[in-house]
Homo-oligomer: A and B are copies of this chain.
Amino acid sequence: MVSIKDIAKQAGVSISTVSYALNNSPKVTLETKTRILAVAKELNYVPNAAARQLKKQESLIIGAFLTDFSGAFYGDLLQGMKEVVNRKGYDLIVCSGKQSHRLLPERMIDGAIILDSAFSDEELLEYADRGHRLVVLDRELRHDNINQVLLDNKAGANLAMDYLIENGHRKLYIVCGPPDSYDSRQRLTAVRQTLDRHPEVEAVFLEGDFNKASGEAAGKKILSELSGEPPGVFCLNDEMAIGLFQTVQDHGKGIGVDLSLVGFDNIDLTRYLSPRLATIEYSKHRWGAMASQQLLQMISGEQVEHERIYVSLVEGESVRPRGAES
């Protein structure tokens, strides 16, 4: 492994001169600099990240921590993060699982973006206390070293509920998410608020865990209760909506006919459904980009405000007008 020491020997200068030359310092003449660079290239020199990091106390690496690598959901998000950090000379690495948490306190990374309920609030606060900079996408946490970039879940859930109600549905099913998910809790809170504003609407809450299977289960339950006016169904995420969607179709019933359905997230998968699934959309790319931007600003010492990612309704034929207003 060739080090600056080797270069120094070969070029007949001291290691400090080599270091200055490699770092474009004006402290060396152009002449010696070019000679040193030539030697470095010839020897195939590559700096040792650990040594530089040890001295500079920075790695130029940002970590993104995800619950899992299952992906479908994360592509755009990570792409958004990466583009921003790359532009500033940082690299993005993606990690998952408890074991990798060490990278943060051991200072392998200069900051982290968290979308992973495997981190407890306490753990994150401890890291923040140690001086590590964090951006959280999945919880509210107040600390000088923590910034949050959160979805406007409540607005989204309101949009979804209003859409069903405006289309004349007076009986609604809500397929919930896991209680330990911040997003799920927020969406549910907004659902309740909407229902408070609409006492004429009857609502039934069904359990769910954001996975497809729980959407299927909810679908069966709803099918077994079908009677009279078609109900509206709001699944708190698209994956469950897809499970429900298919269960309904597999039983010979029609989405948008025998019931109306709205999801949340506008994941890529919905492109493969027909009729179009109404859902709540937001830019995952922007979410990731914003998170990176906030993190880098914190690292460079700037003050940042918490950010919110706005959402909008995507209409679809999975919802159709009913009753009086139809």
Contacts and interface: CB of A to CB of B under 8 A. Distances in A.
Interface of A: 1, 44, 46-51, 53-54, 59, 61, 63, 68-75, 78-79, 82, 86, 91-97, 99-100, 102-103, 105-108, 126, 130-131, 242, 246, 249, 268-269, 272-274
A68 B100 CA distance: 21
Contact of A75 (B47, B48, B68, B94): B68
A106 B69 contact: no
A59 B49 CA distance: 11
B49 A108 contact: yes
A48 B50 CA distance: 10
Nearest to A80: B69
Contacts of A99: 86, 91
Q: 9 tightest A-B contacts by CB?
A: A71-B71, A49-B106, A69-B78, A94-B94, A93-B93, A70-B75, A50-B53, A46-B105, A50-B54
B48 A106 contact: yes
Given A48-B106, A93-B103, A246-B274, 14 more contacts: A46-B106, A47-B106, A48-B54, A49-B107, A50-B108, A61-B103, A69-B75, A71-B75, A72-B72, A72-B75, A82-B97, A93-B93, A93-B100, A269-B269
A50 B130 contact: no
30 contacts: A1-B131, A48-B106, A49-B102, A49-B106, A49-B108, A50-B50, A50-B53, A50-B108, A54-B54, A61-B103, A68-B75, A68-B79, A69-B79, A70-B75, A72-B72, A72-B75, A72-B268, A86-B97, A91-B95, A91-B103, A92-B95, A92-B100, A93-B93, A93-B94, A93-B100, A93-B103, A94-B95, A242-B272, A269-B272, A272-B272
A209 B95 CA distance: 29
Contacts of A96: 78, 82, 92
Most buried by B among A69, A86, A92: A69
A59 B1 CA distance: 16
A1 B102 CA distance: 15
Contacts of A73: 71
B48 A51 contact: no
B54 A51 contact: yes
B71 A69 contact: yes
A61 to B, nearest CB: 8
Contacts of A103: 49, 61, 91, 93
Contacts of A1: 107, 130-131
A124 to B, nearest CB: 15
